[in-house]
Amino acid sequence: MTNSRIAAIDVGNDSLKGIFGEMEYDMNIPNVIARDIEDRPIIGLEELNQQNPIDGIHIRVHSPILKDNNSIYRVGHLATKSTNSTELDPGSSKSEEDQTLIMLFASLALDAVRDENKQMFKRSNNVIEATYTLGTGLPLREVKEGKDVGFRSRLLGSVHQVEFLVTPKYQGQKVNIRFDEVKVYPEGFAAFINLVMDKNLNIINKELIDKRIIIQDIGGLSTDIAVIKNRKVDDDKAQGFNLGVSESLENIREEIRSKHGVELDSRRDVVEIITKKNDRNHIMVKGSRTSVHDIVDRTLFELAKKQYRILRNIWQKNSQTEICYFIGGGSIILKDYLKTMNNNLDGFNIDFFEDERESIWMMVNAYYKLITDFNRRNKKDKQIEEQKLVKNK
């Protein structure tokens, strides 16, 4: 019987979050890729293996489900330093983008190749045969359009190979990825699961379980609205909007470049500037500490107004809602603006997660709970079937 390892992966618009195995390993990689050549130039080749592989992901990806097959990429932190790096664009569908798949395969290969998994997967001549039981998700809008079915079947139906090129520690290793099972969850439902249940799917927030809740998930490229009623997502009320924080971050980045002559590598650099604990909204210009508060405030306030308008419209259509939870990376960036606006205007019962990690990792934590529960029940069903077969003999 093939060993299958559990993986829960959230390919977020800003970054990929992954939890593996018995929660003994997790990773967070910026969702940025850049096309590259096979022998990327590096300084200090002998020091390559002293570096963290996450900081130097350089891979060739082969999969029949990719539009651009057998290409070479820098991924994550390494890609942010490239002049030709790409991030997902507003309006794109996560389920149909090569970038989503490249990030997904890269993360699984990084887990499979670790020394700690030598006993888990078969290895021969630098080729690792890795099988996963995957829990992941797509925006509600894409699930409502039925795109989750095609996404799942494409993953299940093929072998996907990642070859590590000039990557610290793993250079020359190849990982063949197969899926024993793939579960694709709607993101709003996953958020609700994470709010009310522990990792064994026992109810932990009894006061929330029967409440009418709105979950407004603000991501990089989109905002998903889940309306929870009678312990499930109301499919008719669930909505997705092509409005995230990425475009605003890009505008801030561009205005900083034109006004101060400072080139920031990626949107992630902008996020760090506006969320860091010390010297928030400040950059260095020719060695001098310079405020960009005016640029940030003006841009994010405009976005917060649009997000608040969405909340107001949704609440109006769901008047018996008791609370709205703002989640996702975008909610952290807009939290102060939305709170101020709400205090001055409607005074809705809204809440945020003060623990930033909890908000950002909420989806992947939910996927992990759901896929672990599925795996547990699946194993139990197989044992019952085996016992029946033995009895009948």
The pLDDT tens digits for 323-338 are 999 988 889 899 999 9
Residues 158 and 255 in one domain: no
Residues 58 and 151 in one domain: yes
Residues 351 and 368 in one domain: no
Residue 334 domain flag: yes
Residues 273 and 300 in one domain: yes
Residues 10 and 117 in one domain: yes
- Is 389 strand, coil or helix? helix
Residue 194 domain flag: no
pLDDT tens digit string along 289-306? Answer: 999 999 999 999 999 999
Residues 240 and 335 in one domain: yes
Q: What domain range includes position 268?
A: 210-360
- E strand or H helix at 386, and its extent? helix 362-392
CATH number of the domain to which 297 belongs: 3.30.420.40
What is the number of domains present in the chain?
2
Residues 294 and 157 in one domain: no
- Is 222 strand, coil or helix? coil
Residue 391 domain flag: no
Residues 41 and 168 in one domain: yes
Residues 294 and 331 in one domain: yes
Residue 40 domain flag: yes
- pLDDT, residue 298, reads 96
Residue 195 domain flag: no
Residues 105 and 140 in one domain: yes
Spatial contact of 241 and 205, defined as CB atoms under 8 Å apart? no
- Tell me whether residue 241 is exposed, middle or buried, using C-beta atoms within 10 angstroms of its C-beta: 0 to 12, 13 to 18, 19 or more: middle
Residue 202 domain flag: no
Residues 371 and 340 in one domain: no
pLDDT-derived band at 46, boundaries 50, 70, 90: low
Report the predicted TM-score, pTM, of the whole model to 2 decimal places. Answer: 0.85
What's the chain's Rg over C-alpha atoms? 22
Average pLDDT of span 337-347: 95
* C-alpha pair distances (Å), 237 with each of 215, 223, 324: 12, 14, 14
- pLDDT, residue 44, reads 52
Residue 201 domain flag: no
Residue 392 domain flag: no
Residues 32 and 149 in one domain: yes
Query: What token pair was written down for 136?
Result: 């992941």
